[in-house]
Structure 1
Amino acid sequence: MHNKRNPPSFLVQLMDLFLMELTNWRWSWRAIILTSFVAPMLSIIALGSFAQGTGQETLGYILTGNLVMTLMFGNLNKMADRFAYMRFSGTLEYYATLPIRREALIIASVLAFFLLSLPALLGILGFGILFLKLSVSLNPIILLVIPLCVLPLAGLGALIGTNARTPQESDSFSLLLTMVMLFIGPVIIPDNRLPDILLYIGRLSPATYAASALRQTLLGPITGQVVVDLTALVGFSLLTFWWVGLKLDWRQR
């Protein structure tokens, strides 16, 4: 009679996969932090230099918009690269042979890249406040806002990586989407300086709600809009990860 071993618990699966994901990036974590830091920093310098004297509101958009850019480079782009690589290198087929759940793999990847993106996020926050000479009014809700900003961006990255035809296509499309989402809504540019068509289209972008939530919890004041922003971010997250889960449902193959 053969002994049957129970599969590891979900928490054990999640921790093992999380450590594996961090190990995969042990040689390149510096490059991840650098790419997530340099572009937003240069953007703050360029836009902030032109916007001097325009008021705290415009400078606040520049700061929070570039924080969103940092999260995009550190999470959306890297998740797209990672899932595209796993598809075309056979890593997903390997994971499918193991007694693990796809949800554990997705969550572990999100947590790993979120952790790796935090140094760049904090660096851009500090640099932006000093360079733009902004007065900050931190609200404790920001501890909830930042993870909720990451989730839909990471979900979009995973969605791109699981559907792209080649790794090169995944890389190109994730970069294009990052640039588009930064400018189709009031992310970096204030809403009163954008045409109405971009404001309407921007409502379909999670970056718009992420930037709005960050502005309120970082610079103040907190309004009822933050509830709309967080609800939208949760909705985008559920939709994207549900779609990714369907694509990765190897137990049905």
Structure 2
Amino acid sequence: MSAVTPVPPGTVGPTAIGPASSPPMAIRELRGLLTNYRRTWRASIVSSVLAPLLSLVALGMSLGKIVDAGPGAHTFGTIDGRPVKYLLFLAPALLANTAMQTALGESMYPVMSSMKWQKTFHASIASPLGSFDVFLGRVLFVGLRVLMNSAIFLGVMTLFGAVRAAGPGGLGALLALPVAALTGLAFATPVIAWAVLQDRDTGFSAVFRFVMIPMFLFSGTFFPVTQLPLVIRPLAYVTPLWHGVDLCRGLALGTATAGSVLLHLAYLSAVVGAGLWYGARTFRRRLNP
């Protein structure tokens, strides 16, 4: 009887976590998710358009007129000696918030459903894909969803005159688009890594209530963080949303400096890297017990 040559570890199969876990393999998982999304995109596109439209009309234009006419208009900064209109101050921050909300929405219930109810993760792991391929494919899919919604929001911003010709070549707002995507990934990678471990959805409502909403309100979206009490400001500065908001706003208004850009990009990239590290372990623990 001839000897069977053992398969080197980490090549193919459900336990692959080594060299075979590579971007090309993760693309296969992404393609599967995109194939499914082709059948469901119409349901999400409506909210993707209506949410930024209503936000800019209600907050940027209606409330913005009141704010601009008030005595505190100068608190939102000045450009060429003139106060920044509230719409221009708010819109780039809402762009970063759109990225955060899209990322969180796509990273919790869909991940738990794929693990617990639909069992699509189990189907993927039964193929040559490894656990990290499944995780990375999901991250790429969420990143594309974030980029799509952010692009729609930027289009609505342009339509309502909330885009200022700033930055290199007057494309500051366009440069904010990949920053918004990076901000979304800073939320998506750790949350996906955490969500795959959940057997109940009670923790998801806590994330929305005690994480997303406070960050939405107090990360510099509606007013500068410097207006917060001194003891609370450090909490805002350590959130990924503040870094995304500040960088998107700085690029859109043309006020960003090289140092601030590098600082924000380094912080957001570090969070994404930590999320990838965490996700590689949680997916392996859950899918390869």
Shorter-normalised TM range: 0.7 to 0.9
Aligned residue for 1:212?
246
Deviations 1:1-52 (A, max 9, x none): 5688863953441221111111222222222233333333322222212122
Which runs of 5 or more structure 1 residues have no equivalent in the other structure? none
**2:63 corresponds to 1:50:** yes
The structure with the largest helix share of the pair is 1
Please name the residue that 2:228 is paired with.
194
**1:115 deviation in Å?**
2.2
In structure 2, the gaps of 5 or more residues are 14-19, 74-82
1:228 aligns to 2:271 (yes or no):
no
Whole-Å Cα distance in 2 between the matches of residues 143 and 58 of structure 1?
A: 20
The amino acid that maps onto 2:99 is: L
Q: Which residue does the alignment assign to 2:76?
A: none
Q: Does 1:86 align with 2:114?
A: yes
Q: CA deviation at 1:213?
A: 1.4
> How many Å separate the matches in 1 of 2:162 and 2:93?
16
Deviation of residue 143 (structure 1)? 6.2
Q: Determine which of 185, 194, 202 is the counterpart of 1:169.
A: 202
Match of 2:278 among 240, 243, 247: 243
Distance 1:119 1:93, change over 3 A: closer
1:36 aligns with 2:73: no
| Counterpart AA for 2:253 | L
Code of the aligned partner of 1:126: G
Pair 1:126–1:213, CA change in 2 (3 A): same
Cα distance per residue 1:155-200 (max 9 Å; x no partner): 243144224342x435424433322221232133322433334422
Q: Which letter does structure 1 place at the counterpart of 2:113?
A: Y
Larger radius of gyration: 2
Question: Following the alignment from structure 2 to structure 1, what is the Cα–Cα distance between the partners of residues 46 and 280?
Answer: 30
Counterpart Cα distance in 2 of 1:148 and 1:204: 16
> Compared with structure 1, are the counterparts of its residues 121 and 61 closer, same or farther at alpha carbon in structure 2 (3 Å cutoff)?
same
The answer to whether 1:59 aligns with 2:87 is yes
Q: Give the distance between the partners of 1:20 and 1:64, measured in 2 at CA.
A: 32
Counterpart residue identity of residue 182, structure 1: F
Backbone CA RMSD of aligned residues: 2.8
Q: With the length of structure 1 as denominator, give the TM-score of the two structures.
A: 0.84
Q: 1:155 to 1:91 in 2, by over 3 A?
A: same
Q: Distance in 1 between matches of 2:203 and 2:86?
A: 33
Deviations, residues 114-167 of structure 1 (Å, cap 9, x unaligned): 32343432222132244354423224754652442222121243144224342x
2:111 is the counterpart of 1:99: no
Deviation at 1:110, TM superposition (A): 2.1
Sequence identity (%) = 21
Contact 2:48 2:152 in 1 (8 A): no
1:60 maps to amino acid: L
Asked if 2 retains the 8 angstrom alpha-carbon contact of 1:209 and 1:233, the reply is yes
Q: What is the identity, as a one-letter code, of the residue corresponding to 1:29?
A: W
- Distance of 2:136 and 2:254 partners within structure 1: 31
Normalising to structure 2: TM-score of the pair? 0.75
Deviates more, 1:222-231 or 1:237-246: 237-246
Count of residue pairs brought into register by the alignment: 252
